[in-house]
Structure 1
Amino acid sequence: MRLINILCLYFIIGVGSAKANLINYQFNTLNFTDNHQVTGSFSYNTDDDVLVALSISLFGPDFNIDFDIDDLTSPDAFSVSFDNMTFGDSANEGFALFKNDVELVTGEYGLGDYDTCYFGSISDACTGNLFTFQSATVGVDAPQPIYLLAFGLVLLFRGKILS
């Protein structure tokens, strides 16, 4: 009986894990010509090819603004290609964010060249560079729900048999 329980536990835990498809990416920090800086990160669901979260910070002498996914200028105002780790260097990469009368753009949403810029009521500036990014996580082992349910049922019936 003990051997059956051990085999069930091995099956549930050993076979019942899968790679999650949510990967976090971290941008490098870019410096604007007016001493502002910008950095951030995003989370991407690689199975569904969809942006899940976005966090970009623009900070410096005139602005301290935190942008998120809700600040995209349109639902399609973020696109990424994973062919290299430079963000915005191809026609299908870039983002456009707008908050507090400041628009932050890079890649295809920018000036048409390979640059990252912001435009605001006080000033405008560019970095002369694009973001590079790297993976902050490689995937997460997560138990599949069906195996957790099966494990619970095994424990439930085991408890009833022993009572």
Structure 2
Amino acid sequence: MHVDPRFVPEFVDLIHCERLDDLDRFLGPVELFDELPLYSRFHQLAFLDSLSVGQKNRLLIRAAAAHLPRIVEHGRGHDFFCMLSVLSWDEWELGGLIEPAFWYTKPSNRPDPSDPRGILDYLRFRPPTSRYGLFVADALDHDPRYVIRDDSGTDPLTRRVYVMVGEW
């Protein structure tokens, strides 16, 4: 799985512009979890204007997934977990762009201080059987280095598809 070489410099610039290459940023304090988007303004994606929306969405997923292992590796040995969350499926349904984001947390974070479970114990995933999960899997060429999971929601407005490095 690779990012189209024609767009690698622009994605490197985008990652830098969004400060996603500041890997220590991910290890700082976080209340429960946070999601940092691959892009924050549509004009940042002007370099993809020659492509169809489907091609753009595929490249956005691939570029974010290509950056994910760097973040995960940087956090190894720390109280840290990161995965890619793909959202804005309501926009996708209307022919628009999806939004990849880097979802991260400290696994020891507890949503309920009286409950000993960490935040990851509250997440409910299922294999990618929705058209959204299948789109992400296809965009990543079903690469076995990535584990793709649908969330348990059904509303395209809040739905997420998650991409993890390694096993889950």
Of the two, which has the highest radius of gyration? 1
Q: Which has the larger share of strand? A: 1
Q: TM-score, normalised by structure 1?
A: 0.25
Q: TM-score, normalised by structure 2?
A: 0.25
Q: Which has the larger share of helix? A: 2
